[in-house]
Structure 1
């Protein structure tokens, strides 16, 4: 979609569109340098006397304004990118911008969510309209003051000028601007005129982060609050039978022990004492349901794949006929385990439940949903619940689930005391929420050198995330095409994990296409390009990806990676993928060191539309690719009788710094609206590595983690070099 067309909307429309996905914006910038050079910035912005500008914007008459970013900041850079978009259209200097985190506000904001890499995509138009409308209102007020037509006025970094050479700062006309009608039409900037969007901007919190200023939920303190740690059932499928808290209560600093649901909370004067108190509890548990082990999971998924209880998500043509008529048929099954999220910041939340209010403060990706859940559980009016978001020290989907915030509220409600609840690392890894274990079975029919049939079956645990996946590539490229899914309801709690659903699907699919290309005796890249030609010009509006944009990133990746032109001893693997509305192609370089294949480099090319903050975008691509490689190589969470066998990093393997490959990133320049970026680099990374491993060792990998197949990864040098 073009970003340069004029947008028309009314005063009511402004209020409505400004509160779309990324939220209504209580805007603010410090315009001291732009408008009043001799005035120093305030030390405390809260001391300024702000005038109401409209429902979303407040500007002080001395020129000081602040942008409140409504979406949760989980490390994806949204707290920097949202204000950049507003600042661009408002036309102020980025160096003079102050940014603050907005609280949950369901009246003025919508979609205050960090998930799916969708914040900028959904908020793009609304954010630009908000800034442009505010700028035009300020211009109109200045024009009235001068007695000139607004068309004779221009703006530059917070200063309004007219044809006579007169100037006014935004702060000089804020009172008048607050009284004017919201314009029916505003003109948005063309991308060629951007001064802020497309330039590198440091994280707005970077100074506080490196100097240790309070930002995160773990930093939050309140006089008189108690610290809580919770003992939960040690295995999925168990419930609390009885417990003895005598030893816990005897520990100095332990204040109380309370039971809620099948959990026991220890309250103490500090976190460490609460941990000690929890460890001193003596609890007995009873089996409520079957305690599952990894062997059970494997059998369950195989049974689903071999069974007939499938939900067909898409069916084109006749796959049975295609397979019956085929010259060649390839069928392969791929599997991946449960995975924890391993956020650096432990799960934590503050709750203060009283007769008058429910106050919540902490790191959460879904503040509105969490606040509503707590209101329901406590049987309180939603208006009684307030929620303030802190910066989040890693989410990856784990903090889309607000169970830890709910626990804090429940404990506070029972004790009527302010509670800061904190998980240990063991609490988090043993208690869920996990990426679901999945198996995929692919089957392709080849006739006369063409793919004539394609059948994908998925078997998973607790999945409800099928969504648009059946309409991703290769949908539309194969005449006879079918996607079936089967689901098993398990007591093991699962939920979104970075790049939900596609994080393993891309790896399996791209590995399958590599083997299919080998069967067809064609280059995998060429196979992708040939298939995309069949999708061009499609009238099937179910297709989610753009064949032209996917083709382009593939061609650029081939060029930038030196595909097929590397020196001897460098083995390459390719993956091209679409997810989170972005198109990505990656090439992995693998070399043999000490008779073992080692991932040295990932070349990543992405088309995500206009890049708001290149520095932040680069961080997202690099982190996503390394995350994808690391978990594919090492991540594994096995279960025995309903209990995970790993509960900390001494037994759960993560990628190490020395193992992280170089990630070389390239962005496709265009004027499409921004699409997802926090997740799209992760899914294809594992597929590219698996294919490079095949090139290096001659062996295919069908399961994650890759290191679970040592016979495929450590081979005698003479066998590798063949």
Structure 2
């Protein structure tokens, strides 16, 4: 069964030509909502290389199909799943599909972003329309050749069949299809008829990844390219006074040493919003024949720095966050009823404060970017999550038109929010413009960890009032370094479930650069709130699961358009998690912790199983249930879900980062603790099967993991946990002697 959909794009958004080499047909289409009306396609596309478009289908006369994926590939799998959606509606055999990365094209396409777990969600409808429209044009061409009505034709894996049993391949009619009008209406497949979506497909880059073929930013090379490493301020709040590079200039492979920073400062004057993501201090760039030579030479440069602004340490940050929580200088994000009156009338009040540290991103691939600035164009290549934003900043900094910027995206070896900001892109562009050479800037690990961009340190104070056995008041206060709470988060659970409900947010402005870190804000808020609900259930002497279900029963999302989550979908993941985890039925040696959470448009429930080993609680298993709508690529989805859980477990247990004198205390992995292979628990993932449009998946499974572990550890030790990482207070992880069984 098919469903009709009205196409909401301009016909000139659908570009086609029959004059490709080999007689193929090139179809380009705006994957995001609609081509902008002003974006006129070229009259003769054969005069252009198809890489001049960032998202389209290419069909050759032999039936082979190339699909270009428009969004940055950060490991979340969109370079596989986005083409799968197009191929499904195009109705071709997946083995006949070739996938290539598109480039940035701000004229024709929108939201070429890897962030917020939104790529598939935003592209879902337009991606399907892209494939379905191309399919209908090919069917119409075949029907015209046969002299039959198109409705009499069927398609399977790129082969069109008429009622008489005659067949034509897409390649047979691709040229004729270019002469036909773009159809106004196309039929989209019913999910029950999917042949590609819902079937596990191998990552399209897996062969290149496993054999080490050029794919990532660090792999990129160009003729005449040199390498650069930058000497940066040793701490936040420092500026360069002087330097001596005489020794470095004599070292092998060193080409030149220059100072940069003037163009960045000019950019920050024009666009102050970027100022919190990059140092305005001068930096010293070592240009060399190789990365290693640049790294070694920069160590030989002698520098003198002085204080420019306030130098802060973790102790200073802690004091400032406490001042915020104890004061009244808040931005109220949501206020229902009267929490103060409800607290005054409450029989009991529970109040707890939870705190989390700064965290670096620790991407496996260090920050890097290539730039070449010429009179004709500014050529940028590398791993970036927000290519359009960076192209605009570079154009602004260099006083160029945005049309002069050619930005090519490479696959990223991790991002987690770090590559949203692209300070490395700005540095590469300024340096290339200064030395008039194509250059690749490469960070050391110490560059990124010691004075990089971090998840902000945050404290939450949660207070609940109980009256006649019911929760009558709930007040959440947030104190953050730099970044306050997003506006949507106050409308997540338990919003709508408690009559008197208030969420306040305050921030301390610091010169430490902070930004999004995987599952921004919710990455710790989930742990804090869900730990609080467990403790609240104990105080109320009610079942922990039932407390959550009862609260969800009170939510009327239809009556309150601010509510972001679905109480029905949340209850479903809770019930499945209880069933799949064996909640309450495990042997007494297994301690369990439960969490349910909504973020990035998806609903998740998790159960952690903890056992005592040599007197210490150890996470043995996480059962994870996810409702993210239709699962496009099951194996990719499972990888994302399990990766998020493991990331959440690792940072909940071990992730810690502090500042002393404005400098990060851990500048490499010798001092920064990550989860180890032997510490990774079993992760069992279940997806709710439905036919709802896809929602986020790269991030939603990380936030609940911390709360599940904290609640399970509490069951094992009798202690409650208010500070991450849990290993920061090892005495709280000790099990009472009578409980030690292993």
TM-score, normalised to structure 1, is 0.94
The answer to whether the aligner puts 1:19 opposite 2:33 as a matched pair is no
The answer to whether the aligner puts 1:201 opposite 2:201 as a matched pair is yes
The answer to whether the aligner puts 1:281 opposite 2:301 as a matched pair is yes
Instruction: Name the SS of the counterpart of 1:151 in structure 2.
Output: helix
CA distance in 1, matches of 2:726, 2:12: 52
Q: Are the counterparts in 2 of residues 23 and 123 from structure 1 also a CA contact under 8 Å? A: no
Q: Are the counterparts in 1 of residues 386 and 420 from structure 2 also a CA contact under 8 Å? A: yes
Deviation at 1:721, TM superposition (A): 7.3
CA distance in 2, matches of 1:444, 1:94: 53
**Cα deviations across residues 56-103 of structure 1 (Å, max 9, x unaligned)?**
443222323310101011000000000110110000001111000011
Residues 424, 49 of structure 1: alpha-carbon distance in 2 compared, 3 angstrom cutoff? closer
Deviation at 1:257, TM superposition (A): 0.6
Q: Are the counterparts in 1 of residues 605 and 625 from structure 2 also a CA contact under 8 Å? A: yes
Deviation at 1:715, TM superposition (A): 3.6
CA distance in 1, matches of 2:56, 2:159: 21
Deviation at 1:108, TM superposition (A): 2.4
1:581 aligned residue (597, 601, 616): 601
Instruction: Please name the residue that 1:512 is paired with.
Output: 532
Deviates more, 1:676-685 or 1:376-385: 376-385
Instruction: Please name the residue that 2:461 is paired with.
Output: 441
Moved over 4 A (4+): 22-25, 46-55, 719-722
CA distance in 2, matches of 1:342, 1:58: 37
Residues 469, 10 of structure 1: alpha-carbon distance in 2 compared, 3 angstrom cutoff? closer
CA distance in 2, matches of 1:609, 1:15: 29
CA distance in 2, matches of 1:506, 1:74: 24
CA distance in 2, matches of 1:108, 1:158: 27
Instruction: Name the SS of the counterpart of 1:98 in structure 2.
Output: strand
The answer to whether the aligner puts 1:353 opposite 2:373 as a matched pair is yes
Q: Are the counterparts in 2 of residues 600 and 662 from structure 1 also a CA contact under 8 Å? A: yes
Aligned runs of 1:381-420 on 2, under 5 Å?
A: 381-420=401-440
1:524 aligned residue (528, 540, 544): 544
Instruction: Please name the residue that 1:660 is paired with.
Output: 680
**Cα deviations across residues 529-563 of structure 1 (Å, max 9, x unaligned)?**
00000014640000000000000000000000011
Aligned runs of 1:309-458 on 2, under 5 Å?
A: 309-458=329-478
Residues 11, 631 of structure 1: alpha-carbon distance in 2 compared, 3 angstrom cutoff? closer
Instruction: Please name the residue that 1:238 is paired with.
Output: 238
The answer to whether the aligner puts 1:71 opposite 2:91 as a matched pair is no
Deviation at 1:5, TM superposition (A): 5.0
Instruction: Please name the residue that 2:664 is paired with.
Output: 644
CA RMSD of aligned residues (A): 2.2
**Cα deviations across residues 697-718 of structure 1 (Å, max 9, x unaligned)?**
0000100010001111124532
Instruction: Please name the residue that 1:127 is paired with.
Output: 127
Instruction: Name the SS of the counterpart of 1:689 in structure 2.
Output: helix
Residues 553, 713 of structure 1: alpha-carbon distance in 2 compared, 3 angstrom cutoff? same
Instruction: Name the SS of the counterpart of 2:188 in structure 1.
Output: coil
Instruction: Please name the residue that 2:24 is paired with.
Output: none
Aligned runs of 1:493-512 on 2, under 5 Å?
A: 493-512=513-532
Aligned runs of 1:539-550 on 2, under 5 Å?
A: 539-550=559-570
Q: Are the counterparts in 2 of residues 88 and 195 from structure 1 also a CA contact under 8 Å? A: yes
Q: Are the counterparts in 1 of residues 2 and 187 from structure 2 also a CA contact under 8 Å? A: no
Q: Are the counterparts in 2 of residues 116 and 499 from structure 1 also a CA contact under 8 Å? A: yes
Deviation at 1:105, TM superposition (A): 1.0
1:569 aligned residue (584, 589, 593): 589
Deviation at 1:53, TM superposition (A): 13
CA distance in 2, matches of 1:519, 1:457: 21
The answer to whether the aligner puts 1:703 opposite 2:723 as a matched pair is yes
Deviation at 1:462, TM superposition (A): 1.3
**Cα deviations across residues 98-117 of structure 1 (Å, max 9, x unaligned)?**
00001111122211100000
Which ranges of structure 1 fall in alignment gaps of 5 or more residues? 26-45
Q: Are the counterparts in 1 of residues 10 and 34 from structure 2 also a CA contact under 8 Å? A: no
Deviation at 1:488, TM superposition (A): 1.1
Which ranges of structure 2 fall in alignment gaps of 5 or more residues? 15-27, 37-45, 262-281
Instruction: Name the SS of the counterpart of 1:417 in structure 2.
Output: coil
Instruction: Name the SS of the counterpart of 2:684 in structure 1.
Output: strand
The answer to whether the aligner puts 1:608 opposite 2:608 as a matched pair is no
CA distance in 2, matches of 1:292, 1:151: 71
**Cα deviations across residues 322-367 of structure 1 (Å, max 9, x unaligned)?**
1001011000000000000000001011101112210001000111
Deviation at 1:54, TM superposition (A): 13
Instruction: Name the SS of the counterpart of 2:395 in structure 1.
Output: helix
**Cα deviations across residues 109-154 of structure 1 (Å, max 9, x unaligned)?**
2111000000000000000011001100110111111111000111
User: Alignment length, in residue pairs?
Assistant: 700
Instruction: Name the SS of the counterpart of 1:197 in structure 2.
Output: coil
TM-score, normalised to structure 2, is 0.92
1:633 aligned residue (653, 672, 675): 653
Deviates more, 1:323-332 or 1:711-720: 711-720
Residues 599, 185 of structure 1: alpha-carbon distance in 2 compared, 3 angstrom cutoff? same
